[in-house]
Structure 1
């Protein structure tokens, strides 16, 4: 009698209870939702270009083949998360269908937007800095959703402050979205209830403040012709412009060489070791500009409020002078080397800590955690206003950005 036959007959002779139970593996009913949530978390922490389908499959504990049965590509996952967030924002901005006064309607919308942003804090940063990686059609869909949200916010602000003109309402609407979504840029912790109250208070101050008149177009920073002998400066300038326009992963050393009128990519390496070295040099410059202003501002001021106001003025002026660099600093931080990232984060922490120290001295009602969130919101606000109104500087010139940054920090006590 063969061994196989013995095994069959032995099992057949067992009782039902004694027979080994066959393990049936069932695919989770919510597998697609699990994949979407896991990929969103990966994109939120590493960025679109820092994640592969294999990475997502590993996080889920499934094979790449199983992952591709649900989603055809990494882009499909990325697209789904960004469009979901855009739709969520448009829905949150829709006023409740209740008989409420103008202020209460706006307050309800702000609280819903804040709640949704807190719930999606880990991926909000994708919409802020990585939406350019959507294709043209999907990016337009996303922009349409945010335009709808901003249109609704403008109308709600107009109901509360009917004396404001269209530009005033638009600047405030963008500022509200910026302040709320800024919590995606950092990990400063605060209980949800306290965070909601803090963000809502900052938004209320922005709505209430009076902005300087649009007036004439501000004087643009002087354009300085870079001598060809300063090739390292020219390369840095051109690299930042390309990183801003296309995104760091989509720019090659050959592109940078061509933009700087160099004959070949190899010529770049006489000045910088790599594309990453160019990015790191740009980031060091941005960090040095902000950190270097702190000592002189404090030394020349008679109070913390005066020092912080000077720092606001300098921060806005520097951002206007180097808009592309300010944006790239936020959008491409994950692409510098680990060592550079550690160094830059240490500098960034010191900068924020100094601003926080000054702010809590001015506003004794704030904890350090609350002040840290407002400082981060004020930094991000300058970038967002530049991105939205940079091509129309008369709508939101430097004096207006300064006032909005101060209002975010100082609240109702901001200087008139």
Structure 2
């Protein structure tokens, strides 16, 4: 029996030699799937697409993974294992633990977005495993924080830890480039600086979110509003046109008078969010007279925008993969423009202490923290989130 990699020695019908079977086919499938799930979300990815990228047939992929869920669960479990290993091999002090998490995020930049989908799509023991890893991660960082700041109240410590973890994990949310060493140093320093944020007074209650208010009179706006709410609650894939019509109080044919498809509604929701962010940026700058005031106003208005429309934020962050490729490209260009706007004011405020590339990383970190904190089961107040977002951008200078 030959010890060489398995191949079919016969020529194909066209006379070409057969493609050599990769020795690590299962690992390649898992890596490819993790990247696709991370970028586009669970339901937007098809096994046939993964097979094409890997270079195998769909039946060959099914021999390794009987279902898409099995592939997703194993890929997510491997990522959780890597996170556990990173913390287990680090020292117990706060800086070492955060450095380990930052390095893990850097090592898994293309796949770390899987954590955005696990709560919605993992079941049973698979969900328990990932939740346990994340809870243990939080407890480890909290213990290290309280070792250095024992006077911090427990609820405030939990908030700061959630923010710190989000900062060092933020490279998984974007593709901005910077040397790994610089990324690690920049984000760990930023995360450590959050330990000095004092507990702010509560100006709005997280237990009493803003009332929804009156429904739009425009049928198109009503359909869009109800669709966003349903997409945020159930996920785009599981919402039907009939459900949208029922929520809007119109027949299904009425929905099609305003939007040609469910995908068109989703596209409108994304552009609505993008346009509101751009408008908030313009309003923030128009109301500011200094670089520091501009940064503080940019953060405050962004936070306020999504505090009062959390469903729109949820859709904006979780349903990107269901957009058509051209739509995704156009939205990414607009997102980059908004990030560059914030980064410009970071560099103006901090001067030579930071490069434009570093500023972009800090902007992404601040945006990541804001979205993560506002999607907590018991989110903090707008004032608390704004203070943390500003601290990330302003730094300790």
Superposed pair shares fold, TM > 0.5: yes
CA deviation profile, 1:294-322 (whole Å, cap 9, x unmatched): 33332332211111111111111111001
Q: 2:198 & 2:98 partners in 1: Cα distance?
A: 20
Q: 1:315 & 1:89 partners in 2: Cα distance?
A: 31
Match of 1:48, SS? Answer: coil
CA deviation profile, 1:74-105 (whole Å, cap 9, x unmatched): 22111111122223323434474x6xxx7xx1
Give the alignment partner of residue 386 of structure 2, picking from 394, 402, 406. 402
Task: From the superposition, tell whether residues 242 and 138 of structure 1 become closer, same or farther in structure 2 (CA, over 3 Å).
Answer: farther
Match of 2:175, SS? Answer: coil
After TM superposition, which residue ranges in structure 1, 4 or more long, deviate above 6 angstroms?
none
Say which one has the larger Rg. Answer: 1
**Matched residue count:** 380
Give the alignment partner of residue 87 of structure 1, picking from 62, 81, 94. 81
What's the CA shift for 1:220? 4.4
Match of 1:412, SS? Answer: coil
Give the alignment partner of residue 344 of structure 1, picking from 318, 331, 347. 331
Q: 1:137 & 1:240 partners in 2: Cα distance?
A: 31
CA deviation profile, 1:364-394 (whole Å, cap 9, x unmatched): 21111111111111112111101114xx35x
Give the alignment partner of residue 60 of structure 1, picking from 54, 57, 64. 54
Q: Report matched runs for 1:41-120 at 5 Å.
A: 41-94=35-88, 96=90, 105-120=93-108
- Gap runs ≥5 in structure 2: 1-7, 11-17
Task: From the superposition, tell whether residues 297 and 53 of structure 1 become closer, same or farther in structure 2 (CA, over 3 Å).
Answer: closer
Q: 1:245 & 1:225 partners in 2: Cα distance?
A: 20
Do the aligned partners of 1:158 and 1:169 also contact (CA within 8 Å) in 2?
yes
Which deviates the most, 139-148 or 108-117?
Answer: 139-148
Give the alignment partner of residue 157 of structure 1, picking from 131, 142, 145. 145
User: In the alignment, which residue of structure 2 is the partner of 1:375?
Assistant: 363
Do the aligned partners of 1:94 and 1:109 also contact (CA within 8 Å) in 2?
no
1:147 aligns with 2:132: no
What's the CA shift for 1:242? 1.6
1:386 aligns with 2:357: no
Q: TM-score, normalised by structure 2?
A: 0.88
Q: 2:26 & 2:253 partners in 1: Cα distance?
A: 46
Q: TM-score, normalised by structure 1?
A: 0.84
Q: Report matched runs for 1:7-406 at 5 Å.
A: 23=9, 28-94=22-88, 96=90, 105-129=93-117, 131-214=119-202, 217=205, 220-226=209-215, 229-262=217-250, 264-364=251-351, 365-389=353-377, 392-393=378-379, 396-406=380-390
- Gap runs ≥5 in structure 1: 1-21
CA deviation profile, 1:158-184 (whole Å, cap 9, x unmatched): 111100111111111111221122212
Match of 1:49, SS? Answer: coil
Q: 2:340 & 2:364 partners in 1: Cα distance?
A: 11
What's the CA shift for 1:214? 4.4
Do the aligned partners of 2:343 and 2:363 also contact (CA within 8 Å) in 1?
yes
Task: From the superposition, tell whether residues 286 and 61 of structure 1 become closer, same or farther in structure 2 (CA, over 3 Å).
Answer: closer
Root mean square deviation, CA, Å:
2.3
Task: From the superposition, tell whether residues 214 and 91 of structure 1 become closer, same or farther in structure 2 (CA, over 3 Å).
Answer: farther
Do the aligned partners of 2:101 and 2:169 also contact (CA within 8 Å) in 1?
no
What's the CA shift for 1:68? 1.7
Q: 2:66 & 2:325 partners in 1: Cα distance?
A: 31
